[in-house]
Amino acid sequence: MKLVTNKQNLQGTIVVPADKSISHRSIMFGAMAKGKTTIHNFLRGEDCLSTLEAFKALGVPIEDDGAVIQVHGQGLEALKSVDSPIDVGNSGTTIRLMMGILAGTPFTTVLTGDASLNKRPMARVMDPINQMNGQISGFQHTQFPPITIQGSPHLKPMTYEMPVASAQVKSAILFAALQAEGETVIVEKESSRNHTEEMIRQFGGSITVEEKTIRVKGPQSLTGQTVIVPGDISSAAFFLVAALICKDSQIQLTNVGINPTRTGILDIIKEMGGLLELSEIDEQNQSATITAQASELKSCTIGGAIIPRLIDELPIIALLATQANGRTIIKDAQELKVKETNRIDAVANELTKMGACIEATEDGLLINGPTPLHGANVTSYGDHRIGMMLQIAALLVEEGEVKLDQAEAVSVSYPDFFTDLMTLLPGGAV
């Protein structure tokens, strides 16, 4: 696909698409709970639709009238076995969280995915859940999908110190803990996104969190709720950065989720001198309107506890750093290597092709800026966040074309990304 190049003066307002993490969890909680769960603003990206279809396959009645989704949960005990493997496509969140949910069922389920998902590590979830008496195994004694979850109705609690900062691992253990007899204690390495903890409370469950220690006593039953999904800051990030790096631009993003475990990018933008303004802050729904404008940027160092708060934004932050004065260091981000693709290598390879001064390290990136970017043939490696980052990079290209291979990957989290971008261009078109 030929990308839009050489644009400045981006202006307008984007209603940010719904949060992917919360959309997945809204279906999962709805399926585990008893009673009706009504979901407003569900993200109809491919990943969340994989979650929806997976629970339908497991016998959960789910109605979708195109606007609102209703999940008629009857508790975990009402889930039904499925004869063939459930294909969850590209979605790491679906497969990993479902391992925790299905660990305690009285039947066996096989979960599989696309070529990218089937290369992503699953031992991080399999091992702790098997310590709880789960019986989960990977393909031919490896840790990779297809994953077989042999239901084990006698899950036991445990105390677990997490070796990686991961909301997916934490969430899978929490889902198993809700089914186990007794108290499970999880100690996080660094605090990661806390949507699962918040939704356990919202669905009438009980959980305590003290700094990095989380306690859940099982078994617990949950009750259906109404969920209003806020916009995804991870999707907003692409247009925030576009506004900051494209001359004379100002973009307003409405209904952006601002859960503090997700807002690391806002802290980094401010540290780099980016001009941002939050308005219409809704404390209850943890959302706000964010306005960003073209800014003079300086480099910074990004590492440590902030990493899980911006892990999915690092590809677009790397692009931002190519336009900042000085050397930006991204470290402690080795988790980027096990996402939809190796995001450290993907960002370094593709931005280098476009003229950026960027180097991959063992746990991050070194970026010297500012550098002009030029045309190139690039690829998303089938990774939605790499594809969107490259389109924003292309806006800076004054000479030459940028052709993106595997552009369709953006549909995983932001199906309308390219059409939304068009509305910001001068004259509203290419």
* DSSP per-residue codes, 131-159: HTT-EEE-GGGSSSSSEEEE--S-----E
Report if residue 92 touches ligand SPQ, rule: CB under 6 A: yes
* Residue numbers 367-426 binding ligand SPQ by CB under 6 A: 385, 413
x/- binding map, residues 4-23, to ligand SPQ, per CB under 6 A?
A: ----------------xx--
200: exposed, middle or buried (C-beta count within 10 Å: 0-12, 13-18, 19+)? buried
**With contact defined as beta carbons under 8 Å apart, do 113 and 106 qualify?**
no
x/- binding map, residues 48-87, to ligand SPQ, per CB under 6 A?
A: ----------------------------------------
- End-to-end Cα spacing for the chain: 14
Report if residue 309 touches ligand SPQ, rule: CB under 6 A: no
Q: Which of 37, 91, 152, 184 binds ligand SPQ (CB under 6 A)?
A: 91
Q: Which of 300, 311, 330, 376 binds ligand SPQ (CB under 6 A)?
A: 311
* Residue numbers 223-242 binding ligand SPQ by CB under 6 A: none
Query: Which amino acid type is present at position 233?
Result: I
Number of residues that bind ligand SPQ (CB under 6 A): 19
**With contact defined as beta carbons under 8 Å apart, do 411 and 45 qualify?**
yes
* DSSP per-residue codes, 72-96: EEE-GGG----SSPEE-TT-HHHHH
Q: Which of 58, 126, 167, 258 binds ligand SPQ (CB under 6 A)?
A: 167
- Given the rule CB under 6 A, which of 160-168, 266-274, 355-363, 421-429 is the region that contacts ligand SPQ? 160-168
- Choose among 367, 360, 267, 350: nearest CA to 307: 267
- Given the rule CB under 6 A, which of 145-153, 262-270, 332-340, 394-402 is the region that contacts ligand SPQ? 332-340
Which C-beta is closer to ligand SPQ: that of 167 or that of 253?
Answer: 167
Of residues 19, 47, 232, 312, which has the active-site annotation?
Answer: 312
Report if residue 166 touches ligand SPQ, rule: CB under 6 A: yes
Q: Is 312 one of the catalytic residues?
A: yes
Residue 34 β-bridge partners: 74, 223
Q: Structure tokens of 93?
A: 């969140």
- Choose among 362, 330, 366, 351: nearest CA to 402: 351
Taking CA atoms, 302 is separated from 152, 244, 292, 294, 330, in Å, by 42, 18, 21, 21, 5
Which C-beta is closer to ligand SPQ: that of 249 or that of 259?
Answer: 259
- Given the rule CB under 6 A, which of 70-78, 127-135, 161-169, 268-276 is the region that contacts ligand SPQ? 161-169
Q: Structure tokens of 240?
A: 């925030």
At closest approach, how far in Å is the CB of 373 from ligand SPQ?
23
* Residue numbers 188-207 binding ligand SPQ by CB under 6 A: 192-193
Residue 377 β-bridge partners: 403
Active site residues: 312
Write out the residues near ligand SPQ by the rule CB under 6 A: 20-21, 47, 91-93, 166-168, 171, 192-193, 311-312, 335, 339-340, 385, 413
